Structure 1
Amino acid sequence: MEGAKPLLIALVAGEASGDILGAGLMRALKARHPDARFIGVGGPLMEAEGMQSYFPMERLAVMGLVEVLGRLRELLARRKALVADLLSARPDLFVGIDAPDFTLNIELQLRQAGIKTAHYVSPSVWAWRQKRVLKIRQGCDLMLTLFPFEARFYEEQGVPVRFVGHSLADTIALEPDRATARQALGLPEQAQVVALMPGSRGGEVKRLGALFFDTAERLLAQRPGLRFVLPCANAQRRQQLEAMLAGRALPVTLLDGQSHLALEACDVVLIASGTATLEALLYKRPMVVAYRLAPLTFWLLKRMVTSPWVSLPNLLAQKALVPEVLQDDATPDRLAETLSPLLDGQQHQTEGFDAIHRTLRRDASNQAAEALLQLIHR
């Protein structure tokens, strides 16, 4: 169309996983509309694709009910200013990428002002706080889900939805290459390697770091040749973990980022519940999922969650495919005892992982871009 003004698309992502999805989506949109402009809030990957970010995405990355309270005033002030900026910019479309507690409210206000809105990555409404579906129905023209069980839920609730698959399932090969990954990390080819992944946030590492190292010490006592690899999310996490490692004689290789390489190189994973469990699944690595929350947060969640599982592999399989060791049960002895047999092979986990990988492999970024452009031109 000659003389048509370029598309203006607003996106808000709240953490690293959203930054990855947002960047993939922006690439797919630019392939169809090379002159499209992008505003909102994004991380380094989205900024590299041309996002003009109103403030650093890092300010939104906060986890847990109790933990959010300390930052509430700042978050509310930022959201208010962002809504005002977006209302004056009048984008053709607003896409909230995950971060539901921050973005759903923005979607509602913009949609009421006549701006089309979509949400990419469903909040866990099927598990807890199901009343949020009402807010989503009011605030959201289209929900894009990564997983098929979520799309079924929204269809039942009368929310327009499209299952687009997961971009990680597209980028991670169906057959991982352990030997090449070990070479890249300088890990011995014959040793058994455990990846330790205590999370990317300071609070998670504070609650799980020492626990994971204690578990590693117990495993090492049983299997003296064992090696460990731990990808650090950023420089602050690395410092935090180095302090926890001081005085321990553990054969741990700390990496800067490189979580995918760590997963490809290892035999099994001890991992915090979260997005990383999906990455471990896609690399077909047997895992034990552990988590500890602030006691009050855990107590509240226990009363609100309706799902029998917390980890993505089990939610996707709709059965207990991987062990979940949570809160007070998460002791070094219990974790070591649950991990040890996985080092001797765990066929049923990896076969389940492969089936899930194939289901999620749908060229997600392009599927999402197509759905959003249909929404804009509707």
Structure 2
Amino acid sequence: MTLKRVYLVAGELSGDILGAGLMRALKARHSQVEFRGIGGPRMIAEGMESRFPLETLSVMGLVEVIKHLPELVSVRRTLRREALAWQPDIMVGIDAPDFTLGLEKQLRRAGIKTAHYVSPSVWAWRQGRVKGIAQSVDGMLTLLPFEADFYREHQVPVAFVGHPLADELPLENDRVATRQALGFDEDAPVLALLPGSRGNEIRFLGHTFLAAAELLCQRHATLKVVVPAASALRHDEIQALLSHYPTLVERVQLLNGQAREAMVASDAVLLASGTAALEAMLCHRAMLVAYKMAPATHWLAKRMVKTQWVSLPNLIAQQSVVPELIQDAATPEAIADQLHELLSDHEARLALEALFATMHANLQRDASRRAAEAITAIALGQPLENDHAS
């Protein structure tokens, strides 16, 4: 039996990228399959009939959500009505859990198979949400292995499909060639410094990271610091911060984007926790994760978050392979000391790079194909493969 109709709902640009890959893989298995729901330009290019613009669901922040709540409720009601009339083989929500899980629950109650692609961080905080997820989906598709372990523990059907970013990045990269392309000295040590992509992260981390880099440059006379700015606005903000560190200016190369190239070229990476830590791991580079936030936010997070670690490399490895300095521990002196150890211990860096290459290989699983296989199995009422990362 082949799938004929798949209802997909994505909520943001990352979901559009995942959805387009999933659609290509589903078309390879089911040549006549049709797609409706909500998608962006990539999904539309793959044949999606999108009922609303992708931006409809891209609402961030409590105030913005409340402001747009009537519209979001109306959109979900319309999607439910149209999906029930179309009778797809399966409905797949792609991320955007606050919106899509509710729609999945409604459609599942009406007899339509449902799946959710990309787990919310239920393993980290508000773990009680897993009960609602179990009522909403016939299967969860996770990008990371420890997420799948969590769902298995709670008896929710799950498939670990691998991470598309791991598929995208090569298992081997060329540090020397990347340094040459960026105009770096082949032999001088390089630190990639990524203080974050959001304005708040630059505000809380910018001075701390640059002060740590200044201290580190005093210990390493030839150290080069490369700072990839996530946007033109971040570039201007970092440039303004650099004016407070005149001795550092000549040692820093500020880039427009090119975060991946900066990490590949580096010997070590200093970064804020988040997707950048996963990307640094997939570039096989030693790193230090440091993070600061508003005191009230940190107080609340300490009481809500249930994980031992905050960085994805440690969560994936389920052990402390990457040092983490959070809030008051993230001082310029502590950061400089940790980075000095990393830069001074060549053997330790090589061991970390080898470990990250192995972890990369475990995540590089052709995620779109595996997701298509899992969705097909869910739609046909077949069990999901209970495989683990090796």
- TM-aligned CA deviation for residue 177 of structure 1: 1.0
Secondary structure of 1:94's aligned partner: strand
TM-score normalised to structure 2 length: 0.84
| Matched residue SS, 2:76 | helix
State the superposition RMSD in angstroms: 2.7
Q: Is the 8 A contact 1:47 1:53 kept in 2?
A: no
Give the match for residue 364 of structure 1: 367
Letter aligned with residue 95 of structure 1 = V
Q: Does the aligned pair in 1 maintain the 2:9–2:100 contact within 8 Å?
A: no
Whether the 8 Å contact between 2:189 and 2:223 is mirrored in structure 1 is yes
The CA deviation at 1:366 is 0.5
Where in structure 2 are there 5+ consecutive unaligned residues?
382-390
1:319-353 Cα offsets, whole Å, 9 max, x none, are: 11110100121111111111111112224422331
Aligned partners of 1:7 and 1:188: how far apart in 2?
55
2:115·2:137 contact (CA, 8 Å) conserved in 1? Answer: yes
Specify the alignment match of 1:190 in structure 2.
Answer: 187
Write the letter of the residue equivalent to 1:182.
R
CA deviations 1:214-270 (Å, max 9, x no partner) are: 222222222232222223333333333333334544233333332222221111111
Partner AA of 1:315 in structure 2: L
Q: Distance in 1 between matches of 2:237 and 2:44?
A: 27
Q: Quick check: 1:281 aligned with 2:317? A: no
Residue among 65, 82, 92 paired with 1:89: 82
SS at match of 2:186: coil
Say if 2:151 is the partner of 1:154.
yes
DSSP-derived class of the 1:118 partner: strand
AA in 2 matched with 1:359:
N
SS of aligned partner of 2:226 = strand
- Give the CA deviation at 1:182: 1.8
Q: Is the 8 A contact 1:274 1:311 kept in 2?
A: yes
* In 1: Cα distance, 2:43 partner to 2:257 partner: 18
What is the CA deviation profile of residues 48-98 of structure 1, one whole-angstrom value per residue up to 9, with x for unaligned ones?
A: 656548345497374xxxxx3333313534532331231233163433333
Distance 2:235 2:74 in 1: 33
Amino acid at match of 2:97: P
Assess, with a 3 A threshold, how the Cα gap between structure 1 residues 73 and 322 changes in structure 2: closer, same or farther. same
Measured after TM superposition, the shift of residue 277 of structure 1 is: 1.0
Which residue identity does 1:333 align to in structure 2?
E
Do structure 1's residue 325 and structure 2's residue 318 form an aligned pair? no
Point out the more displaced range, 115-124 or 102-111. 102-111
Kept in 2, the 8 Å contact 1:263–1:283? The answer is yes
Q: 1:375 to 1:257 in 2, by over 3 A?
A: farther
Contact 1:142-1:162 within 8 A present in 2 as well = yes
CA separation of 1:190/1:46 partners in 2, compared to 1, >3 Å: closer, same or farther? farther
Matching of residues 1-378 of structure 1 within 5 Å: 7-14=5-12, 16=14, 18-33=15-30, 36-42=34-40, 46=43, 49=46, 52=50, 54-55=52-53, 57=55, 60=58, 62=60, 68-74=61-67, 76-90=69-83, 92=88, 93-249=90-246, 250=249, 251-344=251-344, 345=346, 346-378=349-381
Name the aligned partner's letter for residue 9 of structure 1: Y
Structure 2 vs 1, CA of residues 360 and 221 (structure 1 numbering), >3 Å: closer, same or farther? same
Equivalents in 1 of 2:51, 2:296: separation in Å?
Answer: 34
What is the CA distance between 1:105 and its match in structure 2?
2.9
Gap runs ≥5 in structure 1: 63-67
Could you tell me how far apart the structure 1 residues matched to 2:42 and 2:244 are? Answer: 37
Question: By how many angstroms is 1:364 displaced?
Answer: 1.1
* Paired residue total: 369
Q: Is the 8 A contact 2:117 2:140 kept in 1?
A: yes
* Structure 2 CA distance for partners of 1:20 and 1:268, relative to 1, 3 Å: farther
In structure 1, C-alpha distance between the alignment counterparts of 2:221 and 2:57, rounded to whole Å = 43
Give the Cα–Cα distance (whole angstroms) in 1 for the partners of residues 354 and 325 of structure 2: 22
**What percentage of aligned pairs have identical amino acids?**
50
Amino acid at match of 2:10: V
C-alpha distance in 1 between matches for 2:329 and 2:267: 24
User: Alpha-carbon deviation of 1:33?
Assistant: 4.5
